[in-house]
Amino acid sequence: MKPGSFGRRPADLPPDEFVAHNGFHAETGVNTPLSSADSAGLKEQVRSILLSRIDAAAAGRMKRSDLQTETIRMVNEIATEARVQLNQREEFLLANELVDDMVGLGPLEPLLADDHVTDILANGPFDVYVERHGKLEKTQLQFRDAAHLHHIAQRIASAIGRRIDESSPMVDARLADGSRVNIVLPPLVLNGGTISIRKFSRKEITLDIMTAYGNLSAPMARFLEIAARARLNILISGGTGSGKTTLLNAMSRLIDRRERIITIEDAVELRLQQPHVVQMETRMASVEGTGRIVQRDLLRNALRMRPDRIIVGEVRGEEAFDMLQAMNTGHDGSMSTIHANSPRDAIHRLENMVLMGSVNLPLRAIRSQIGSAVDLIIQIERMRDGVRRIQKIVEIVGMEDDVITVQDVFAFEHQGEAHNGAIQGRFEALGLRPHCTARAAEFGLERRLLETVGIGG
């Protein structure tokens, strides 16, 4: 579509399909001349007249660059006609805001383009917060009102074929770039509506990059590389926003390119570089309440797809039982994440999830399944200074009576806090011979493993 084709004029369209020049509506005959109010009011009137001239459907089909150019032209034209004094910068900013409203996320659009922002949290139309470098801060950005927020929310929902309104006031969605969105509207919230976005990182994160950022030490990175190459089953544990998915993404890059990998996620976030990857995503129920497909369904189907490894973005329910079954039946090297505050807590949560799906299974049998299926638990935490650090790397070594036994391989030793609030400490190998040494030996990695944990050959 050529630039200029989305602006509707009397000369171009039949009388019943246009809003006429200079703000005169063909159907109602209402004139909307611009007043000489303050600058903000004048800009708002320019905005209103421009929106009345736009064919929204045509605008939605244009390239953003073409739409931007045409919108700037029309803003300049309207401002000239109405004798509104807008300088070039003001015209550009107003046009940019309008384009964001038409095809983007309104005032949130600049935050999506900011690589330093990891989370965007709109608590109603006038309070927009972001997380930068691990810390929350309030921005100056605002929606015009609650109706503006609802409009953006509805655009997000409609893009994935969902509806959000008073009868269905909550939705999970995914933006085109993969970022996760949660929306809650009244009457479930009292502040006019909330939009929470967990951004999809554009950067390719590797363990080397995470080491440079201080998320882990070089020996820990080497140990995790060996664990991936030796096909250990790994569970990454941590709280919300602790960096679990980022670490899972980094570790997935270590998988052999010849392997067939099946990924299962609620919203696709993993970016695997291997050529033989099948990414599967759950589906919410339709408005009629049908068609829901959960992770357990996908996991069971994945077992019929001849996977070498299965990666579950986050295990959170009944699918835990099927994941353990897969790990115990030849799908070594599988990985997942879990919400938990410690490795031991992660084990207890896994037990409870299996009980949700298999109520008749004895607790000892569940613990035996976990003990034989999971090899490593990596605990990661976002600390007070905003830095995400691996707190522990723990091996599951077996069972003693009815208790799953573990041993620490690496741990972060907290040593204090600097005057600027930065956490001080060091990552330490605990000097124990890893339980996975025999597995590493099968892949010719035993010597390197022992050197990595600091106990020599």
Do residues 239 and 382 both lie within one domain? yes
Give me 116's structure tokens: 């330093």
Q: Report d(CA 174, CA 197) in Å as an integer.
A: 9
Report if residue 4 sits inside a domain. no
Do residues 364 and 420 both lie within one domain? yes
> How many domains does the structure of the chain reveal?
3
Do residues 289 and 420 both lie within one domain? yes
Last residue of a domain, one of 198, 217, 237: 198
What is the pLDDT averaged over residues 86-95? 80
Last residue of a domain, one of 144, 166, 198: 198
Report if residue 42 sits inside a domain. yes
pLDDT band at 42 (very low <50, low <70, confident <90, very high): low
Do residues 153 and 88 both lie within one domain? no
* pLDDT given at position 168: 85
Report if residue 310 sits inside a domain. yes
Do residues 416 and 280 both lie within one domain? yes
C-alpha distances (whole Å) from 28 to each of 19, 25, 202, 406 are 10, 6, 48, 76
Helices (H), 273-318: 295-302
Do residues 290 and 410 both lie within one domain? yes
Do residues 38 and 179 both lie within one domain? no
Residue 124's CATH number: 3.30.450.90
Name the β-bridge partners of 223.
none
Last residue of a domain, one of 181, 198, 215: 198
pLDDT band at 88 (very low <50, low <70, confident <90, very high): confident
> Distance from CA of residue 317 to its chain's centroid?
20
| Residue 71 lies in domain | 15-103
Q: Report d(CA 243, CA 390) in Å as an integer.
A: 9
Angle between helix axes 88-103 and 39-53 (nearest 10 degrees) is 50
> Distance from CA of residue 61 to its chain's centroid?
26
Do residues 303 and 328 both lie within one domain? yes
Do residues 369 and 442 both lie within one domain? yes
Do residues 438 and 361 both lie within one domain? yes
Report if residue 122 sits inside a domain. yes
Report if residue 2 sits inside a domain. no
* Beta-carbon contacts of residue 115 (< 8 Å; ≥ 6 apart): 201, 202, 203
Do residues 135 and 115 both lie within one domain? yes
Helices (H), 183-317: 207-212, 218-229, 244-252, 295-302
Q: Which of 327, 267, 275, 338 is nearest to 303 (CA)?
A: 327
- 100-106-111 Cα angle (round to 5): 95
Q: Report d(CA 279, CA 299) in Å as an integer.
A: 12
Query: pTM (2 decimals)?
Result: 0.78
Per-residue pLDDT for 50 more than 90?
no
Q: How many helices (H) and strands (E) does the chain have?
A: 15, 15
Residue 379's CATH number: 3.40.50.300
Q: Report d(CA 417, CA 428) in Å as an integer.
A: 18
Report if residue 247 sits inside a domain. yes
Report if residue 1 sits inside a domain. no
pLDDT band at 29 (very low <50, low <70, confident <90, very high): very low
Parallel, antiparallel, or unpaired: how do β-strands 309-312 and 423-429 relate? unpaired
- Percent of the chain at pLDDT exceeding 90: 47
The three-state secondary structure class of 407 is strand
Do residues 316 and 368 both lie within one domain? yes
Q: Report d(CA 206, CA 203) in Å as an integer.
A: 9
- Does 179 or 43 have the greater pLDDT score? 179
Report if residue 7 sits inside a domain. no
Q: What is the pLDDT of residues 156-194, one digit of tens each?
A: 888 877 788 888 899 888 888 878 899 999 999 999 999
The three-state secondary structure class of 171 is strand
